[in-house]
Amino acid sequence: MIGRLNHVAIAVPDLAQAMAQYENALGASVGAPEDLPEHGVTVVFIELPNTKIELLFPLGADSPIAGFLEKNPSGGIHHICYEVHSIKDAVAQLVDSGARVLGGGMPKIGAHGNPVVFLHPKDFQGSLIELEEVPHS
Amino acid sequence: MIGRLNHVAIAVPDLAQAMAQYENALGASVGAPEDLPEHGVTVVFIELPNTKIELLFPLGADSPIAGFLEKNPSGGIHHICYEVHSIKDAVAQLVDSGARVLGGGMPKIGAHGNPVVFLHPKDFQGSLIELEEVPHS
């Protein structure tokens, strides 16, 4: 079912510092910050040859990553995102297998404009997994 | 400097369960467990079209992931690994930039038989980064 690793998301407490570290110390190609108010985050994409890293910084009072940064003040790897061909089919297969899909299994529109769901970390070895519908995947 | 994302490593407290979840719930192609006594882990590779996931399970009394699993009993994303063309050049650039390379910057031979170093998580937004020398990267 799962296809490509779409991205690894890293929550950061200092966006400018994180961008500088990836650009200068790691020599990566770092994009410009984009505010996504409907998602409560500012994102920066780091393009690698085979996938991308997303730096996430809280935006607004109800950012979904605020709690994570409270627990991990230095930041940390927040989630990994796998591509699926069909979110609907993926959710059906997950529910059949007994895994918990957050938000009642109803997809939302993610940061790239595609439908996404998140899976319960307790069912996946403590790691938060996002599934993103990428029809050509 | 950094090239491909070589892998994302996930430390797991129950290897059989993690393998079953990736195979059945996520429909992924899950390899067979390999014991790497010199690294203190049993690894399972999950091949994705563009990169791979490594499940890590402690092996032996001094496993380097034992402490992580004590702090994160459900498991969690342990590190991400970027490919570099030359470990020696990468370490020199990192030291120049003021970032800390663990183990005094001396590469070890990693799980894939290539030289690797790990970077101090405090210099990289709380995320543990492995660099692996892959000459064709």
- Summarised one tens digit per residue, pLDDT across range A39-78 is 999 999 999 999 999 999 999 989 999 999 999 999 999 9
Using beta carbons and an 8 Å cutoff, which residues of A are at the interface with B?
1-5, 8, 10-13, 18, 21, 24-28, 48-51, 53, 55, 72, 74-77, 80, 82, 93-94, 97-99, 121-127, 129
Which residues does chain A have within 8 Å of residue B98's beta carbon, measured at their own beta carbons?
A: 25
**Is B37 in a helix, a strand, or coil?**
helix
Does domain B5-133 fall into CATH 3.10.180.10? yes
SS3 category, B31: coil
Give the H or E element holding residue B118.
strand B115-119
Tens of pLDDT, residue by residue over A4-45, are: 999 999 999 999 999 999 999 999 999 999 999 999 999 999
- C-alpha distances in angstroms, B81 versus A117, B9, B132? 25, 8, 7
Rounded to a whole number of angstroms, the CA Rg of chain B reads 15
CB contact under 8 Å between A48 and B82, yes or no, is: yes
Interface test with B, best of A19, A23, A26 (most B CBs within 10 A): A26
With a cut of 90, say whether residue A112 has pLDDT above it.
Answer: no
List chain A residues with CB under 8 Å of B14: 125
ipTM of the complex: 0.95
Among the partner-chain residues B51, B53, B77, the one whose CB lies closest to the CB of A77 is: B77
Mean pLDDT score across all residues of chain A:
95
Environment class of A69 (CB within 10 Å of its CB; exposed 0-12, middle 13-18, buried 19+):
buried
- Is the confidence at residue B26, as pLDDT, over 80? yes
Mean pLDDT in residue range B25-54? 96
E-only strand ranges, A1-137: 5-11, 29-30, 34-36, 41-47, 52-58, 76-84, 108-109, 115-119, 129-133
pLDDT band with cut points at 50, 70 and 90 for residue B137? low
Q: What pLDDT is recorded for position A137? A: 61
Determine the pLDDT at residue A25: 95
Whether residue A78 contacts residue A53, with contact meaning beta carbons closer than 8 Å, is answered with no
| pLDDT(A109) > 80 | yes
Q: What are phi and psi of A87, to 5 degrees?
A: -65, -40
Position B68: which residue type? Answer: F
* DSSP-based three-state secondary structure for B87: helix
Residue B3, pLDDT score: 97
Q: Where are the domains of chain A?
A: 5-133
